[in-house]
């Protein structure tokens, strides 16, 4: 197999007359003559042309969709439309048969719902070839962005004893026998007999651990799996997803916003430059889907235009208070077209509000800042009360067209007394978080950070409509296949 050439490399070749060997899977076999082969290295197939009189009929009958083959032959200029070169076949070997009666992926369009039912095979489709090539490119771009800026990549723990968000929606980690759980006299679980000797869970965020490192190394980032035990069956939620979480010492909120905007522009540009075939395919796929919708429901921008829209427009920066004023006076709110009507300051904004600000009002990406303290996490830096005595925090959310919030972050509260008071107000035990408070006791400094949900980013860049279609093995309520 050492002579094998990848189809991606072969398609760029101009060495007509060269003998080559390719290995891949049969996409289609037409007229007992034309074989479309794909080896996963590119979304594009290569066509192999054979003289059916030169091959056994029994062999030709095995050239079914999905069969793995090895083909040797000569590179020739193609006379057909849509390809520059093809292979004139000299030798075919079937590496793995595929029963045409049983293989569920026939050469026709399959719905995404159907493909989720056979998720172990959906990688073999053009759509998911494109999606996961883009996902790979975005992951690489994120690492390259931070590496080139001198950030340290930190691996934060998957198993933790803290709840960074204070949400309580966590997956418990335990080796206790569920049929014989040891309990104390008051009936509570005796975790001293558990593996870690205390209650532990799968992490909801690497932020708190990231702060520890940022206050030593300066600039760090994490990129790993996080878990939320939310019983939420929506197109935007997963129980297991990946997060990018940079933390930077000596940063304020403005520095934080600048970095987040620069990161998003960088990774989108990288995808446009390095995934042109995949994005063209996904763009055309989306345009075909749009044709099935009523004119009023169609997107104003196609996928490529939407990505370039974000690059061509500086992000609009407004406060939460300004956003509430805009939303309260908007036509959808006054005509009660929002599902969640904005009545007063303090409301927690929903996706419909965020998308209105981006897509209808400003027509550009938006960064919202300075949210009410009551709806944000304990670690966010408190602002001085405003003229009306309202308390806000130095938080920021970045809103994108079609998706709403894509990044959430804040300047962190570096003042020990104020942080401790917030923890008391939110019933977060200071004793268990003493390790975290030490960063404020010894050499505390202004610092900031944010979280970027990786699947939300992939969803945006690929134009897919369901987050379950941009992660290889989705984990959702009542679903943990493979």
* Averaged pLDDT for residues 70-83: 89
Q: State the Cα–Cα distance between residues 365 and 257, nearest whole angstrom.
A: 12
Residue 80, pLDDT > 80, answer no
Q: Which helix (H) or strand (E) holds 260?
A: helix 253-274
Q: Enter the tokens of residue 344.
A: 């007063």
pLDDT at 165: 61
Helices and strands (H and E) in the chain: how many: 14, 16
What phi, psi does 84 have (nearest 5°)?
A: -95, -35
Model confidence at 167, pLDDT cuts 50, 70, 90, reads low
Residue 470 pairs in a beta bridge with: none
Q: Enter the tokens of residue 408.
A: 């959430």
Q: Which of 159-173, 231-245, 258-272 has the lowest mean pLDDT?
A: 159-173
pLDDT at 168: 59
Half-sphere exposure of residue 398, counting CA atoms within 13 Å on the CB side?
Answer: 28
Q: In what order do the strands lie in the sheet with 366-372?
A: 152-153, 219-227, 240-249, 447-453, 404-411, 392-400, 366-372, 316-319
What phi, psi does 423 have (nearest 5°)?
A: -65, -40
* pLDDT tens digits, one per residue of 177-192: 999 999 999 989 999 9
DSSP assignment of 180-241 equals S--B-TTS-B-GGGSSSSS-EEE-S-SHHHHHHHHHHHSEEEEEEEEE------STT--SEE
Q: Enter the tokens of residue 198.
A: 């205390």
Model confidence at 1, pLDDT cuts 50, 70, 90, reads low
pLDDT at 448: 98
Cβ contacts of residue 39 below 8 Å, gap of 6+? 6, 7, 22, 23, 24, 25
Domains identified in the chain and CATH numbers: 7-108 (2.40.50.140), 126-169+204-469 (3.30.930.10)
Model confidence at 174, pLDDT cuts 50, 70, 90, reads very high
Count of residues in the chain: 482
* pLDDT tens digits, one per residue of 426-482: 988 888 899 999 999 999 999 999 999 999 999 999 999 999 999 999 999 998 888
Q: Enter the tokens of residue 36.
A: 């479309």
Q: State the Cα–Cα distance between residues 141 and 133, nearest whole angstrom.
A: 12
Model confidence at 297, pLDDT cuts 50, 70, 90, reads confident
Q: Are 220 and 246 in contact (CB under 8 A)?
A: yes
Model confidence at 109, pLDDT cuts 50, 70, 90, reads confident
**pLDDT > 70: what percent of the chain?**
98
Cβ contacts of residue 123 below 8 Å, gap of 6+? 129, 132, 472
């Amino acid at each position: 197999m050492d002579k094998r050439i990848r189809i991606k490399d072969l398609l760029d070749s101009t060495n007509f007359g060269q003998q080559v060997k390719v290995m891949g899977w049969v996409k289609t076999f037409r007229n007992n003559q034309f074989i479309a082969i794909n080896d996963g290295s590119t979304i594009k197939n290569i066509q192999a042309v054979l003289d059916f009189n030169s091959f056994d009929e029994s062999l030709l009958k095995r050239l079914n969709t999905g069969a793995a083959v090895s083909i040797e032959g000569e590179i020739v200029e193609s006379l057909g439309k849509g390809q520059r070169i093809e292979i004139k076949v000299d030798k075919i070997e079937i590496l793995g048969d595929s029963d045409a009666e049983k293989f569920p992926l026939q050469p026709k369009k399959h719905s995404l719902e159907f493909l989720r039912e056979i998720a172990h095979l959906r990688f073999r489709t053009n759509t998911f070839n494109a999606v996961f090539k883009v996902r790979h490119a975005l992951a690489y771009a994120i690492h390259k962005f931070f590496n080139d800026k001198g950030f340290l990549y930190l691996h934060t723990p998957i198993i933790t004893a803290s709840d960074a968000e204070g949400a309580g929606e966590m997956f418990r980690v335990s080796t206790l026998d569920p049929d014989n759980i040891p309990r104390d006299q008051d009936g509570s679980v005796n975790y001293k007999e558990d593996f870690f000797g205390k209650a532990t869970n799968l992490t909801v965020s690497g932020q708190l651990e990231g702060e520890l490192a940022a206050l030593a190394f300066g600039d760090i980032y994490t990129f790993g799996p996080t878990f939320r035990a939310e019983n939420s069956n929506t197109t935007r939620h997963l129980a297991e997803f990946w997060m990018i979480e940079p933390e930077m010492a000596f940063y304020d909120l403005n520095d934080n916003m600048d970095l987040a905007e620069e990161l998003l522009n960088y990774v989108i540009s990288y995808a446009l430059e390095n995934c042109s075939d995949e994005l063209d395919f996904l763009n055309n796929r989306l345009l075909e889907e749009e044709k099935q919708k009523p004119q009023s429901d169609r997107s104003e921008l196609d996928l490529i235009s939407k990505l370039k829209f974000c690059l061509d427009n500086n992000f609009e920066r407004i406060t939460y208070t300004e956003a509430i004023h805009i939303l309260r006076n908007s036509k959808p709110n006054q005509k009660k077209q929002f599902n969640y009507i904005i009545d007063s300051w303090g409301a927690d904004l929903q996706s419909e509000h965020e998308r209105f600000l981006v897509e209808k009002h400003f027509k550009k990406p938006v960064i919202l800042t300075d949210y009410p303290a009551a709806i944000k996490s304990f670690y966010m830096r408190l602002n001085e009360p405003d003229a009306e005595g309202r308390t806000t925090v130095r938080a920021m959310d970045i809103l994108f067209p079609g998706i709403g919030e894509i990044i959430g972050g804040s300047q962190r509260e570096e003042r020990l007394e104020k942080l401790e008071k917030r923890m008391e107000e939110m019933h977060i035990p200071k004793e268990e978080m003493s390790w975290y408070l030490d960063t404020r006791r010894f050499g505390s400094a202004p610092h900031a950070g944010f979280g970027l949900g990786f699947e939300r980013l992939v969803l945006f860049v690929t134009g897919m409509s369901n987050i379950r279609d941009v992660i290889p093995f989705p984990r959702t309520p009542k679903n943990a296949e493979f």
